[in-house]
Amino acid sequence: MTTTPQTAAPSPHPLAGKRMTGAEMIVQVLADEGVEVVFGYSGGAILPTYDAVFRFNDEHRNGAGKEPMTIVVPANEQGAGFMAAGYARASGRVGVVLVTSGPGATNTVTPVRDSMADSIPIVVLCGQVPTNMIGSDAFQEAPVSAIMGSVAKHVMLVTDPARLEATIRTAFEIARTGRPGPVVVDLPKDIQNWTGEFQGSGLLAFPGYRQRIKAVHDNTLTAADCKSFFALLAQSKRPLVYAGGGVINANAAAALRRFTQRFGLPVTTTLMGIGAVDTTEPLSMQMLGMHGAAFANYAVEDCDFLIAVGARFDDRVAAVVDRFAPSARHIAHFDVDPAEIGKVKKADWHHVGLLDRDLEVLTTWGERHHPAQDFGEWHRELAGLKQRYAYNYDRDSALIQPYYVLEEINRHTRGEAIISTGVGQHQMWAAQYFDFRHPRLWLTSGSMGTMGFGLPAAIGAQFARPDRLVIDVDGDGSLRMNVGDLETVTTYHLPVKVLLLNNFGDGMVKQWQKLFYKGRLSGSDKSLHRKDFIKAAQADGFGYAVRLERKADVPRVVKEFLDYEGPSFLEVVIDPDAGVYPMIGPGMAYDQMITGEHIASRGRRPREEAPPGTSMF
């Protein structure tokens, strides 16, 4: 006879029953959730909560005077959103934003949508006018629920103060579970000022959502599932794993590495999947897609079994769906979101579940039951592709090439630094020329492609990982978007390194205009703009702010820039005509890849014509 062990009832919260204001309850729930940093900008409708944070910090300050919940004030609320996203991306924890009503809330729309597109968990707490004034066009009122409903994972307007505490807890639950994403909570001022009893526990009823999450959690791989997967692998001579950002978000990089190393599977990653495998490993094929490595794209062309893990076959990777992985006889697809299965590309085998757990189960089953396969010939073929079709550029040019600068930085960082970027050519160069030994070292705006992301995201990452070197690789166009946050770096004494690759214009736009619009640089040439970035950095308190214009000085200045103990700023005047290659143009397949003058190509030349009107970057 067996007995069921009795589980002890959870201990009540030590503050349960204490009378608090709504604002104090919000702050206490944040503390219970382990929040140590809040990014935001104050204002009238959120003042009660800002005051509650101040009083909480004053009461719980440690012996060294350190605040338990640091408030980081950016130049604007968009910066706060990107800082929270950078914090979440670098740490795997939920980032928190605290802003006021009206413009404070609407300024976070872009980072909310950016986080939704890249599946990043943040919680945005925004003030709102009192409940009795909602809908009256009161001062600094905005219809947050209507605006955010289409761009966030979930939006909640609190009108019943008794539900406030549970609402904040539930926001964190929704943000971090399943496919992560941003949750917005709209907080009327009278709800923040209300006084009631703190419960210390409780969530809102979301039965449908929790049932879906439970279904994914309970959907474990069976022996039959594993057997059918390995039956497909047994038929393969040229398997290839295609890993996406879902691997990073699921904290499944370690499980993926064990799986691929155990069975000798090469891996290529999306832009968002960079770091899922160590890019310095022989079987890492680095990034695929529109600006991926030529050798990675040729590997996709040649593989006979494509294994998609936490990837969604988006248009940057599979623009011409029926010509993507044309030699693959079978496709397998792992994901946490059932909506992604078959959405773009039909899979012969698929599983919806928890990636880290499922990969471990698959590895264990394969070790016990799957005979070892020799992929040596395929490995040698891939090594040849990597050698023949490697990234390259004009190394003899008298002008400073951006690739050279990044190679020199990479020589120092050795794949261990956190790299944040804006959006544009510099973003793709950084993805191509930096190594990443671990997950959560690569922070970039992938699906939304939001300029201005790099600097605030680097700030958030430095708060999340004070032990890491953090470098913002930016372009002159992207940096202008949130240049006010240079001051945020120095205000909080952050040792962030800001690298500005200045080509005096919107380089990626110019590249497209040269390729597809007969060189008409409409609105993209900024060579006559007067911004002095060095003076701007110095004015904002950077002790090291240097402009690099001579190629011969690159090694020395890069070392100075990285070795400087505090925040440092380096502007590099690069070749204005430097391009991002390889490149797969609109409506083109991998065999039509443009590799430029310095990278070998085995494909036919692409069509020289303007892209259709519906084409995107």
CA 370 to chain centre: 35
- Element spanning 493, H or E: none
Between the CA of residue 117 and those of 49, 111, 114, what are the distances in Å?
Answer: 29, 10, 5
Catalytic residue among 140, 199, 261, 373: 140
Domains in the chain, CATH or no CATH each = 19-206 (3.40.50.970), 219-388 (3.40.50.1220), 402-573 (3.40.50.970)
Tokens 């800002």 correspond to what residue? 50
Which residue in 156, 287, 451, 508 is the catalytic one? 508
Helix ranges (DSSP H) in 236-338: 245-249, 253-263, 294-302
Could you give the dihedral angle defined by the CA atoms of residues 266, 268, 273 and 275, in that order, rounded to the nearest 10 degrees? Answer: 60
559 phi and psi, to 5 degrees?
-65, -45
The kind and range of the H/E element at 286 are strand 284-287
Q: Comparing C-alpha atoms, which of 552, 400, 571, 546 is closest to residue 472?
A: 571
Average pLDDT for consecutive 10-residue bins of the chain (617 residues)? 54 95 98 98 98 96 87 98 98 98 98 98 98 95 96 98 98 97 98 98 96 96 98 98 98 98 98 98 97 97 98 93 95 96 96 97 98 97 97 97 98 98 97 98 96 98 98 97 98 98 92 89 88 97 98 98 98 96 90 94 57 47
Cα(417)–Cα(54) distance, integer angstroms: 33
Only one residue has tokens 């062990």, namely: 5
Would you say 88 and 34 are in contact if contact means Cβ atoms under 8 Å apart?
no
Tell me the pairing of strands 239-243 and 154-157.
unpaired
547 neighbors 535 (Cβ within 8 angstroms): no
> Is the pTM of the predicted complex or chain greater than 0.75?
yes
Within 13 Å of residue 475, how many CA atoms lie on the same side as its CB? Answer: 27
Active site residue 263: no
Secondary structure in 3-state letters for 9-38: CCCCCCCCCCEEEHHHHHHHHHHHCCCCEE
CB distance 42 to 184 below 8 Å: no
Inter-residue contact 334 to 255 (CB < 8 Å)? no
The answer to whether residue 77 is catalytic is yes
Amino acid identity of residue 344, one-letter, is V
Beta carbons of 72 and 38 less than 8 angstroms apart: yes
189 is catalytic: yes
State the catalytic residue, choosing from 20, 28, 189, 286: 189
Q: What is the pLDDT of residue 526?
A: 87
Residue 603, pLDDT score: 64
Q: Which of 66, 139, 214, 549 is catalytic?
A: 139
Alpha-carbon gap, residue 112 to 86, rounded angstroms: 12
pLDDT in the model for residue 184: 98
Q: Are 100 and 46 in contact (CB under 8 A)?
A: yes
Q: Which two tokens stand for residue 214?
A: 């439970």
Whether 616 is a known active-site residue: answer no
Q: Tell me, what's the pLDDT at 77?
A: 98
What count of other Cβ atoms lies within 10 Å of the Cβ of residue 136?
10
Paired sense of beta strands 19-21 and 195-197, if any: antiparallel
Q: Are 190 and 130 in contact (CB under 8 A)?
A: yes
Q: Examine the residue annotation and report whether 140 is marked as an active-site residue of this protein.
A: yes
E strands, 383-469, are: 418-421, 442-443
Give the tens place of pLDDT for each residue, 122-171.
Answer: 999 999 999 999 999 999 999 999 999 999 999 999 999 999 999 999 99
| Residue bearing tokens 């001022």 | 189
CA dist 177 and 211 (Å) reads 12
First to last CA, the chain: 67
